[in-house]
Amino acid sequence: MQNPVQNPLLNPIPRVTPDQDQLPSPHSDLIDLGPIDLDITEDDINLDFDSLQIPSPNESNSDNPNISHDDYSQFLKSNSKKDIIYNTTLQEHNEHLLKTTNKIILIPTSIDLDESNPYVSEVILNTENKDDILNIEKELNSFLKIHYENKIVYLLFTKVHHFDEMTYPSIFDALKKVRNDLLLSSDSTNISISDFRNPFDKLSYTKIYNIIIHIFHNTNIPVDVYRNKIIYPTLSERSKILHENHDIPIAGHLGSVRMYKRIKESYYWKGMRSDIENYVKTCRSCQENKALRKINKAPMEITTTSTAPFQRIALDIVGPLPESGTAKLKFILTIQDDLTKYSIAYPIRWSTTAEETSDCLIHFISLFGIPKTILTDQGTNFTADLFKSTCKFLKIKQLWSSPYHPQTQGALERSHSTLKEYLKSFINNNQDNWPTYVYTAILTYNITPHTTTKYTPYELIFGHKPYIPNSVFEEEPTTYLDYIKMLQHKLKFSREIALQNITKSKETSKSYYDSHTKPPPRYKPGDYVYIKNHLRLRKALSPIWKGPYKIIMVNNNHTATLLINRKHVTHHFDQMKPALIPK
């Protein structure tokens, strides 16, 4: 065995070229170098390999110094710190994993390649080198990289036998090795992975979630987790599902689009979309109570969108409705968050007094905190001194929409239409029991995916999907800290996506909206205009327009300030037309 001190690879000796005269001849006596000490000392074996920069097989050679190389125990310590925020982009899907459009798929399995796992079976059966995959030597906490159709599949070996119990350290180590391989290759794009569930394991998805966002932190690799809780109902069960998701009070007679989005989160069958459309079309209650949507052709102004929940809220009144009960309730006050579209409704007696409106606002604030801005119309209950004083005391900035221009509060006005359609579907013949259904109507609205944000308002506020009767939820073993870490990441990511979707929706709506309009006249201070006479609805033969009124100031949001009866009143361009004054 070679002495490590004399190993030139470990302790190279500098080569010296002596003068030619000093070299001994081949026939001369050997040079006596004296006794050589062959004992190994501590200094000899304390070798420095760091300077050689040999990469570890378990670590990435990435240039990013912020990539974590913790083991599982170190992860547990760092995960317990509340100030750590992960930037991993993680999105959840309730679909079949192999239907993903991503190029890279991660499938956890056992070394014996459990064929009861439908993902593993399908991948192996559709690969050319099936025998090689089955016979190749495999190692625990490692992976096998194979090609499946036009995708790359990583089989993660997180346990030896399919009946063994998968452990969190094994999952952590296997994911970490895959991450390092992705960073070293050119395949570091979006990846899809299952949620690690199988019949033999009782794993907490909350812990799995936190492991994933920790490992892929600072990697710029988006992760799509496929939970696949889809139920495939029989033909006889489909009618019951349609009934539960349309006719009962917490379903609320949704339209076909929103009903489809709600059902597809839990069920799938061939022709599901057409079945839903036919069910809604033939619903007698919907045919009797739902109005046709009219397209309002007017220029659109894109408003700013809040960046946090309850930063800005909108208030409005629905009614008058048929008088109900001894309290003589006739109106509904609705409050909606600008970002999440989360809504609250309060049955009230009057629409013109500020007392009830202020009380409802205080109750809302006790639940969700004080908003920075409130947007309302110019109703007397919102412009009264009491309501103004309440907002001033709470340091809330008030914004008012233009008179007779409900588009300013478009999202809230659209929810009013949904609310009325819901109430029409469930009230009695006397129409005096509508307050009973107001709260279930708002629940239905909040637990249904919004067409603009693509999330349910409930999920954007509370960070998880709502519990509804036709869904099955399993209790997961988890801890308070694990749940808080997952909730923090989920809320941050989902709200960012919702904000992007709202902005995109506004731009799309404006493009379509403005394509059906013509530019308004170029008004300037000093011009005279007529405004629409909305009081004519009380008298059929009243003039359509009233005025003329002088423009005092032209604002930059398609509104102008007019002098009406010695008061400055703001009106939208939609409500005005130029007045031709004879000279």
CA–CA gap between residue 85 and residue 73 (Å, rounded): 19
Place of tokens 């670590």: 59
The DSSP output letter for 430 is T
The H-or-E segment that residue 437 falls in is helix 435-446
CA–CA gap between residue 514 and residue 288 (Å, rounded): 32
- 270 residue type, one letter: K
| Nearest alpha-carbon partner for 414 in 312, 508, 336, 513 | 336
Dihedral sign from CA coordinates of 306, 308, 311, 312: positive
Tokens describing residue 468: 């509804």
Q: Assess whether pLDDT exceeds 80 at residue 436.
A: yes
Question: pTM for the complete prediction?
Answer: 0.49
Domains 312-499 and 527-578 belong to one CATH topology? no
pLDDT band at 308 (very low <50, low <70, confident <90, very high): confident
CA–CA gap between residue 507 and residue 563 (Å, rounded): 34
Give the pLDDT of residue 514.
61
**Chain center to CA of 240:** 30
Place of tokens 């309302």: 376
The residues with which 347 forms a beta bridge, in sequence order, are 332
Assigned CATH topology for domain 527-578: SH3 type barrels. (2.30.30)
Q: Half-sphere exposure of 347 toward its Cβ, with a 13 Å CA cutoff? A: 21
Mean pLDDT score, 40-63: 48
Q: Assess whether pLDDT exceeds 50 at residue 446.
A: yes
Residues shown for the chain: 583
Mean pLDDT score, 420-426: 76
**Chain center to CA of 65:** 29
pLDDT band at 270 (very low <50, low <70, confident <90, very high): confident
Minimum mean pLDDT range among 4-13, 40-49, 141-150, 238-247: 4-13
Give the pLDDT of residue 363.
92
Give the pLDDT of residue 567.
87
Tokens describing residue 536: 């004519």
pLDDT digits (tens, 9 = 90+) for 380-415: 888 888 888 988 988 989 887 765 555 555 556 666
Distances (CA, A) of 54 to 7, 10, 51, 139, 254: 18, 14, 8, 23, 62
Give the pLDDT of residue 552.
92
What is the DSSP pairing of strand 151-159 with strand 191-194?
A: unpaired
The angle, 0 to 180 degrees and rounded to 10, between the axes of the packed helices 256-263 and 272-281 is 140
Mean pLDDT score, 88-94: 85
- 219 residue type, one letter: T
DSSP helix/strand/coil, 519: coil
Give the pLDDT of residue 491.
66
- Virtual CA dihedral for 50, 55, 59, 64, nearest 10 degrees? 80
More confident: 416 or 73: 73
Tokens describing residue 124: 């192996």
CA–CA gap between residue 479 and residue 464 (Å, rounded): 16
Please give the mean pLDDT across all residues of the chain: 76
Give the pLDDT of residue 303.
54
Tokens describing residue 28: 């001369």
pLDDT band at 469 (very low <50, low <70, confident <90, very high): low
Tokens describing residue 390: 């309440």
pLDDT digits (tens, 9 = 90+) for 172-212: 999 999 998 888 876 567 899 988 877 666 788 888 888 88
Superfamily of domain 72-226: Leucine Aminopeptidase, subunit E, domain 1 (3.40.220.10)
CA–CA gap between residue 117 and residue 218 (Å, rounded): 31
Backbone Cα Rg of the chain: 35
What is the DSSP pairing of strand 373-376 with strand 90-93?
A: unpaired
CATH architecture type of domain 312-499: 2-Layer Sandwich (3.30)
Q: Give exposure, 202-222, as e/b (b: 16+ Cβ within 10 Å).
A: ebbbbbbbbbbbbbbbebebe
pLDDT digits (tens, 9 = 90+) for 484-505: 667 667 666 666 766 777 677 6
Give the pLDDT of residue 445.
84
Sequence ranges of the domains in the chain:
72-226, 235-282, 312-499, 527-578
